[in-house]
A and B are shown apart, each in its own frame.
Chain A
Amino acid sequence: MMPTGLEAIASTDLPPLTRQRPRALWAAAAVIGLAVLLPAGVNQYWMQIGTLAFVYWVLIAGLDLIIGYAGQLAVGFVGLLAIGAYTASILCEKASWPAFAALAAAGAAGALFGFLVGLPSLRLKGFYFAMTTLGFSTIVTQVALGWERLTGGGIGLPGPIFPAPLDSPVGFYYLALGMALLATYLLRNVAFSNFGRGLVAVRDAEVAAEAMGVPITRLKLVTFTLSGILAGMAGALFAARQTYITPDAFTFDLSVLFFIMVLIGGRGRIVGPMIGTLILTLLPEIAAPLVMWSNFLYAVLLLLVVLIVPGGIAAFLERLFVKTAKGEGLEAPAPERLNAVLGQHASPKVLTLQGVALHFGGVRALDGVDVAVWPGTVHGLIGPNGSGKTTLLNAVSGFYAANSGRIVFGEADLAARPSADRAALGIARTFQTPRVVGNLSVLENAMLGAYRQFTTSFPAVALGSRHGVIEDCAIRQRAADALAAVGLRRLAHLRAEQLQHTEQRLLEIARCLVMQPSILLLDEPAAGLSHDEIEHLQALIEHIRSLGVAILLVEHHADLVFQVSDEVTVLDVGRVLAHGAPAEVRINPEVINAYLGA
């Protein structure tokens, strides 16, 4: 997974690839060396099985991004393989295109249909989405059968033949190996980049991803397109390896096989699915007599992986090779590191709510609320349960649309802006129950905050652009500073799900800081904190304020609110009950009654 030790990251100039643990680099070199020498050491049969494994891996590398990283259960991916295979074969056979041009065309066709297969994932989840991909692949086989003039129907047609040296089994082996390495390179670049982290956030914490401004629709579609390209090219290679394709070569069982290859490997990993692909290509050859039971074994394997070894091979390997260092625990925060994080970036903006009303069904959650939060000040918001505090926060951060009234931040009228743009405007928020991306490391979670400020495009990152790597390092450094600021410096490399509840709260705050916000919305940050943890929080809030960031603090912890706030508003049943300096509000009889629920 990610490199360990925060100090190692401090040197920003080295691109992440070379700074990966030497052991991983040596392992990768060994595997590639073995693959290059294989044809010499083994007969043509096992070599061609190797070719098949590489061809499948070109597809699985793309599918791993969809299932492993983005968590979209695309069950019917054989349809895209078929589209690539038929596009290449038809162009070569009927329009006598050169093989490499046909390969590129297969990639393009894969991109188009990958995009189309991705569209339903924007609205559908789980079973519904799995069903659409299954339906898609059955349709592809039926059209291949029915459109006889083009696809040769049941009789099928010959696959593309690559030019001279590559048409021999050995030559084609190296072509497939090359494509497999290219696919791995693309997968690695995206997986270890800003986009890879965004995908895992979409999989594990879609709400948090939206709050951080991750453009979920665009990210999903771009990922489906990339995996479509890989699947299409894999299809062309598959047709070339088979030398002849018929519709019944693209069976539902192959779809399930691809699905299991990713899952057995382990979600959100690269090496795991690679090994999964190798095993599931070799297994049927070794256990040929068991071929009758092959589907049954795949089903049992799928069940075992989900129920017993959710982490798959990757988790198993990690337990063996990667010793997950124990977190040494919380440190005293170092607020001075904040200057490096926020720098002079935070442009001061005023948040004003005028007459904001919002109701669900009969219940009037907010009933004409006026609140103003000035830059460089802390505005406390308190009130009994169900008074509308969190609703107000959700309205500002775009999860709810106000029925009437205006919310203005700086010059932007928020009503008009979609929720995903709020992060770009400089609005950052935490949640009542912390929403962190469990499977990402603490450092990666913090880096997610800067998703919107990452300028390199997806294709550029996929192809390993230097600029993308430099940007990534800058964000990594900013995240490291933010973690130090909140006291999580020594826990950077732990997975976020290993953190204590309070540490997860601080991680959320660090993530917000990395967004270099103009306003920070804190939703009950002190809940469940111990006494001295609250003091640390208070010091942190005061330091953030001193750097010109506006803070809207929703909190039950009365003495924290009254000590740190510059002004306090008390909400009750959706209306402003009292407003003013903390000292006056605290002794205001109405407030006490509201609190005691007289």
Chain B
Amino acid sequence: MLVTILVAGIAIGAIYAMIGLSYNMMYSTSKVVSFTPGQLGMIGAVFGAWFIGVLEVPLWLGFLGAMGVAVVYGFFTELVAVRPVLKSIEQHLYVLTTLAAALMIQQVVAIWWGTDPRPFPTLFGLGAGLASEKYWLPVVACFLAFIGLELFYRKTLWGAAFIAVAEDAEASRALGILDVRIRVVSYCLAGFIGALAGFMGGQLLLAFFALGATLTFYGFVPIAMGGIGSNRGALIGGFFLGILQQAANYFVGGVFVGVVTFAVFITVLLLVPRGLFGSAVARRV
């Protein structure tokens, strides 16, 4: 029994972790915590299912198509929901605009894709039972994304530019770095990572329009635990939450999984607002 909980928990945890990476990617260059990462996951699942399942497009083309849609949505989010409110960031208007952006995409997909969960095609059909691909695909994708990001930050100049903008946007501007362009690219990259979570986890989550809201909430818990901005925190928080939920589901029963998750979420937030690995909060006066 323990094995099933672990395998399913790690698979779901990987999806939450990737959504967490998407949160961090957007936050790093704009200091905005957005409502849209979960929707990016939904886009990955729904458009993946549509390209590959409905239009029977070859696998790689379907993958690129789903990622493409998410990148465009990421671009739209930055342009419409983030840039205009960056000037008055202390008023937290971004909460309202990103919530609006999330609701828009969710409603459009609901009308177009229908409101019942629809099947997500088997991608490679490898493995069966607990070794089925639907369990290890998200985990592989999650580690690839994490390592890919670390290499990108450490080894590439563009990655260094991202860190520069994240650390001190004004100094970066003085250095001649086009911080606006970096922010746009980061929102597109966040779109890719979010959609990757939905696409790779599609066989587990199914292509469902309301996936976005669930992933946004459950994807934020690792961020709250790990501390916004820390990818390591997102990974650890994600896997912990995945396993916790599966265990709660088995021992406590389906209904109270939400209650258990919220209890963990609220205690962590109140005890350690910055999270375990979060960065210090600037001085007030």
Instruction: Decide if the interface of chain B is mainly helix, strand, loop or mixed.
Output: helix
> How many residues of A sit at the interface, in one of the four size bands?
35 or more
Residues A207 and B284 in contact, CB atoms below 8 Å apart: yes
Please report which residues of chain A, range 301-352, place their CB below 8 angstroms from some CB of chain B when the two chains form the complex.
302-303, 305-307
Residues B97 and A256 in contact, CB atoms below 8 Å apart: no
Residues A128 and B213 in contact, CB atoms below 8 Å apart: no
Residues B97 and A303 in contact, CB atoms below 8 Å apart: yes
Residues A120 and B269 in contact, CB atoms below 8 Å apart: yes
Closest-CB distance, A598 to chain B (whole angstroms): 29
Closest-CB distance, B243 to chain A (whole angstroms): 20
Q: Which residue from chain B places its CB closest to the CB of A128 in the assembled complex?
A: B269
**Do A132 and B266 contact each other (CB < 8 Å), given the known contacts A303-B81, A394-B285?**
yes
Partner of A120, one of B104, B108, B266: B266
Partner of B103, one of A132, A298, A400: A298
Residues A146 and B255 in contact, CB atoms below 8 Å apart: yes
Residues A123 and B273 in contact, CB atoms below 8 Å apart: yes
Please report which residues of chain B, range 106-155, place their CB below 8 angstroms from some CB of chain A when the two chains form the complex.
106-108, 110-111
Residues B259 and A128 in contact, CB atoms below 8 Å apart: no
Q: Does A71 contact B (CB under 8 A)?
A: yes
CB contacts (< 8 Å) of B2 on chain A: these are none
CB contacts (< 8 Å) of B213 on chain A: these are 252
Cα distance, A400 to B284, chains bound together (Å): 10
Query: Interface digits, B86-100 against A, CB 8 Å rule (1 contact, 0 not)?
Result: 000001111111011
Please report which residues of chain A, range 60-103, place their CB below 8 angstroms from some CB of chain B when the two chains form the complex.
71, 73, 75
CB contacts (< 8 Å) of B91 on chain A: these are 71
Q: Does B265 contact A (CB under 8 A)?
A: yes
Q: Which residue from chain B places its CB closest to the CB of A399 in the assembled complex?
A: B285
Please report which residues of chain A, range 452-498, place their CB below 8 angstroms from some CB of chain B when the two chains form the complex.
none
Cα distance, A324 to B161, chains bound together (Å): 48
Residues A128 and B107 in contact, CB atoms below 8 Å apart: no
Q: Which residue from chain B places its CB closest to the CB of A307 in the assembled complex?
A: B84
Residues A306 and B259 in contact, CB atoms below 8 Å apart: no
Residues A306 and B92 in contact, CB atoms below 8 Å apart: no
CB contacts (< 8 Å) of B103 on chain A: these are 256, 295-296, 298-299, 302
Q: Does B262 contact A (CB under 8 A)?
A: yes
Please report which residues of chain A, range 118-172, place their CB below 8 angstroms from some CB of chain B when the two chains form the complex.
119-120, 123-128, 130-132, 134-136, 138-139, 142-143, 145-146
Q: Which residue from chain B places its CB closest to the CB of A306 in the assembled complex?
A: B96
**Do A131 and B107 contact each other (CB < 8 Å), given the known contacts A143-B259, A303-B81, A306-B93?**
no
Cα distance, A119 to B269, chains bound together (Å): 12
Residues B107 and A296 in contact, CB atoms below 8 Å apart: yes
Q: Does A587 contact B (CB under 8 A)?
A: no
CB contacts (< 8 Å) of B33 on chain A: these are 126-128
CB contacts (< 8 Å) of A40 on chain B: these are none
Cα distance, A302 to B102, chains bound together (Å): 12
Q: Does A293 contact B (CB under 8 A)?
A: yes
Residues B256 and A142 in contact, CB atoms below 8 Å apart: yes
Q: Which residue from chain B places its CB closest to the CB of A145 in the assembled complex?
A: B255
Cα distance, A143 to B107, chains bound together (Å): 26
Cα distance, A143 to B91, chains bound together (Å): 33
Closest-CB distance, A325 to chain B (whole angstroms): 27
Query: Interface digits, B251-276 against A, CB 8 Å rule (1 contact, 0 not)?
Result: 00001101100100110011001000
CB contacts (< 8 Å) of A124 on chain B: these are 269, 273
Residues A127 and B92 in contact, CB atoms below 8 Å apart: yes
**Do A126 and B107 contact each other (CB < 8 Å), given the known contacts A142-B255, A299-B100?**
no
Q: Does A263 contact B (CB under 8 A)?
A: yes
Residues A146 and B81 in contact, CB atoms below 8 Å apart: no
Closest-CB distance, B75 to chain A (whole angstroms): 16
CB contacts (< 8 Å) of A300 on chain B: these are 100, 104
Q: Does B64 contact A (CB under 8 A)?
A: no
Query: Interface digits, B273-285 against A, CB 8 Å rule (1 contact, 0 not)?
Result: 1000000000111
Cα distance, A453 to B94, chains bound together (Å): 37
Residues A138 and B262 in contact, CB atoms below 8 Å apart: yes
Q: Does B220 contact A (CB under 8 A)?
A: yes
Instruction: Decide if the interface of chain A is mainly helix, strand, loop or mixed.
Output: helix
Residues A293 and B111 in contact, CB atoms below 8 Å apart: yes
Closest-CB distance, A23 to chain B (whole angstroms): 31
**Do A399 and B284 contact each other (CB < 8 Å), given the known contacts A298-B103, A303-B97?**
yes
CB contacts (< 8 Å) of B35 on chain A: these are 127
Cα distance, A394 to B107, chains bound together (Å): 50
Q: Does B101 contact A (CB under 8 A)?
A: yes
Q: Does B6 contact A (CB under 8 A)?
A: no
Partner of A135, one of B34, B217, B283, B285: B217
Residues B96 and A135 in contact, CB atoms below 8 Å apart: no
Closest-CB distance, B212 to chain A (whole angstroms): 11
CB contacts (< 8 Å) of B262 on chain A: these are 135-136, 138-139
CB contacts (< 8 Å) of B265 on chain A: these are 131-132, 135
Query: Interface digits, B199-220 against A, CB 8 Å rule (1 contact, 0 not)?
Result: 0000000000000010001001
Q: Does B195 contact A (CB under 8 A)?
A: no
Q: Does A292 contact B (CB under 8 A)?
A: yes
Q: Does B85 contact A (CB under 8 A)?
A: yes
CB contacts (< 8 Å) of A123 on chain B: these are 269-270, 273
Residues A292 and B92 in contact, CB atoms below 8 Å apart: no
Cα distance, A32 to B133, chains bound together (Å): 65
Residues B96 and A263 in contact, CB atoms below 8 Å apart: yes
**Do A139 and B258 contact each other (CB < 8 Å), given the known contacts A71-B91, A207-B285?**
yes
Cα distance, A103 to B102, chains bound together (Å): 36
Closest-CB distance, B80 to chain A (whole angstroms): 7
CB contacts (< 8 Å) of B80 on chain A: these are 303
CB contacts (< 8 Å) of A126 on chain B: these are 33, 92, 94-95
Closest-CB distance, B198 to chain A (whole angstroms): 20
Cα distance, A124 to B111, chains bound together (Å): 35
Q: Which residue from chain B places its CB closest to the CB of A123 in the assembled complex?
A: B273
Residues B106 and A295 in contact, CB atoms below 8 Å apart: yes
CB contacts (< 8 Å) of B81 on chain A: these are 303
**Do A146 and B285 contact each other (CB < 8 Å), given the known contacts A73-B92, A307-B97?**
no
Closest-CB distance, B169 to chain A (whole angstroms): 18
Q: Does B224 contact A (CB under 8 A)?
A: yes
Cα distance, A400 to B283, chains bound together (Å): 10
Q: Which residue from chain A places its CB closest to the CB of B105 in the assembled complex?
A: A299
CB contacts (< 8 Å) of A119 on chain B: these are 270
CB contacts (< 8 Å) of A131 on chain B: these are 217, 220, 224, 265
CB contacts (< 8 Å) of A252 on chain B: these are 213
Cα distance, A256 to B269, chains bound together (Å): 23
Cα distance, A127 to B84, chains bound together (Å): 17
CB contacts (< 8 Å) of B34 on chain A: these are 127
Closest-CB distance, A522 to chain B (whole angstroms): 16
CB contacts (< 8 Å) of A293 on chain B: these are 107, 111
Cα distance, A399 to B256, chains bound together (Å): 43
Cα distance, A298 to B96, chains bound together (Å): 12
Query: Interface digits, B221-263 against A, CB 8 Å rule (1 contact, 0 not)?
Result: 0001000000000000000000000000000000110110010
Please report which residues of chain B, range 47-78, place their CB below 8 angstroms from some CB of chain A when the two chains form the complex.
none
Interface residues of A, Cβ cutoff 8 Å to B: 71, 73, 75, 119-120, 123-128, 130-132, 134-136, 138-139, 142-143, 145-146, 207, 252, 256, 259, 263, 292-293, 295-296, 298-300, 302-303, 305-307, 360, 394, 399-400
Q: Which 9 residue pairs across A and B have the least CB separation, nearest first? A: A146-B255, A126-B92, A299-B103, A127-B33, A296-B107, A302-B100, A303-B100, A299-B100, A295-B107
A-B contact pairs, 17 of them (CB 8 A): A124-B269, A125-B92, A131-B265, A139-B262, A142-B259, A145-B255, A252-B213, A263-B96, A293-B107, A296-B108, A299-B107, A300-B100, A302-B96, A303-B104, A306-B93, A307-B85, A307-B97
Interface residues of B, Cβ cutoff 8 Å to A: 33-35, 80-81, 84-85, 91-97, 99-104, 106-108, 110-111, 213, 217, 220, 224, 255-256, 258-259, 262, 265-266, 269-270, 273, 283-285
Known: A130-B95, A299-B107, A303-B104. 11 other contacts (CB 8 A): A71-B91, A73-B96, A120-B270, A123-B273, A127-B92, A128-B273, A131-B265, A134-B217, A135-B265, A138-B217, A303-B81
